[in-house]
Amino acid sequence: MSRQKPKLARIAESLGVSTATVSNALSGKGRVSPELAERIRATAAELGYVPSVAGRALRTGRSGVLGLVLADISNPLFPKLAQAIENSAAKAGYGVLIADSHGDVAAQTQAIERLIERGVDGMVVVPRRGTRVAGASCPVAVIDSPSTPGNTVAADHWSGGQAVGAHLASLGHRHVLLLGNSTASNVQNDRLGGVRAGLGSAKVETVWIEKLETTSGQGCSLGLQSAVARGVTAIAAVSDLVALRALTELQRAGIAVPEDVSVTGFDDLIWSSVITPGLTTMRMDVATIADIAIAAVLEAINQPSTGEPQRGETVAASQSKVPMELVLRQSTARPGSSASRNDNKPTNLTVGELIQ
């Protein structure tokens, strides 16, 4: 059996052109007329031509692959973000390799090193809470809180929290419990700091779950029944996951939401609209965040001054803050009011609309 000719040669032979012309047309380089380039692409598609990643790497010195390090892929927010990153990278012609640091600093460093060993051209990192990313030998975009040094892009967590607080204050809540998970998280501190600002003169209590569990054990009671008994009328959770834990504890205690106490979350996870009551929460624009992060990495990779990627530093750019959106559902209402006051249809409000 005779060996089949390489695809580029077959495309060139069928059109009566050189392999160099075919290569230039498919790579977008060289002087090839639009009409011929279109014919070459059509013929390549008919013959099932697939560009060689290894060949491209040899020609350009680049792999066409980006890395993504997530802090904890078991958190339902991160697969949503990973999908947005992959979509943005694909639009630019890049693939994505994903690593999970499992919330561990050493594992985060190892994940970054493994991706670099695999030849990624750049990477996006969602750091383990309270850590900084430095020293990577490729361009790195960091998605974290705007208050994080070296951050590239983030949701505007403070303004999002301020909108949550303003919403609860507008309903008449004057005694609010804030539920956080870890004081080491810049994102959580920004969110809850914003909620406090938005609540104005309301009385505020704060419970940090990790501290509570250190003394009382994993999965311990959050003390919500006693909080409601001493006058708390609203609970602002730092995430939808924490809000779900609060809703479960309140339900077990026979405390009605929102008739007895209102509950809010953050992130607008996929189940937030289908639980009962539907959760009032703050939505992140993950698509825009992903687009900004990928654009920053690619800009660094394609530095016109040297033709080489930047090395050894994160891509800070303008440290973009992406507005969040408040989604009103049935878990919030005026103190002591009926759930019917908050209509069954969700309402989306920008932060600017709410706090004007």
Domains of the chain: residue spans and CATH? 7-51 (1.10.260.40), 65-154+286-322 (3.40.50.2300), 157-284+324-355 (3.40.50.2300)
Q: How confident is the model over 240-266, as a mean pLDDT? A: 97
| Token pair 């914003």 in the structure block, residue | 194
- Residue 351 predicted with pLDDT over 50: no
CA atoms in the 13 A half-sphere facing the CB of 203: 7
Percent of the chain with pLDDT over 70: 81
pLDDT at 85: 95
Q: Is 86 left (phi over 0), alpha (psi -120 to 50) or beta?
A: alpha
Sorted by sequence, the CB contacts under 8 Å of residue 275 that are 6+ apart come out as 244, 247
286 vs 278: CA distance, rounded Å: 21
pLDDT score recorded for residue 319? 66
Give pLDDT, residue 45: 81
Q: Is the pLDDT of residue 195 over 60?
A: yes
Distance CA 292, CA 17 (A): 40
- Which of 93, 184, 97 has the alpha carbon at shortest distance from 144? 184
Q: Dump pLDDT digits (tens) for 83-130.
A: 999 999 998 888 999 999 888 888 888 888 888 888 889 999 988 765
* Residue 10 confidence class, pLDDT cut points 50, 70, 90: confident
Residues 50-63, mean pLDDT to the nearest whole number: 57
**Given this model, what pLDDT does residue 2 score?**
41
Cα 164 to Cα 196, 232, 284, 309: the distances in Å are: 9, 16, 13, 41
pLDDT band at residue 41 using 50, 70 and 90 as cut-offs: confident
CA atoms within 13 A on the CB side of 340: 1
- Residue 232: Cβ-neighbour burial (10 angstroms; 0-12, 13-18, 19+): buried
Q: pLDDT by residue (tens digit) across 270-281?
A: 999 999 999 999
pLDDT at residue 342 above 50?
no
| Integer Cα distance of 281 and 272 in angstroms | 8
Percent with pLDDT over 90 in the chain: 51
Q: Which stretch of 36-45, 148-157, 268-277, 296-305 has the lowest confidence by average pLDDT?
A: 296-305
- The more confident residue out of 8 and 190 is 190
- Quickly count: other Cβ atoms within 10 Å of residue 18's Cβ: 12
Tell me what pLDDT residue 308 has: 46
Pairing of strands 203-208, 175-180: parallel
- Write phi, then psi, for 207 (nearest 5 degrees): -120, 125
pLDDT surpassing 70 at residue 227: yes
53 vs 284, residue with greater confidence = 284
Rounded to two decimals, what is the model's pTM?
Answer: 0.76
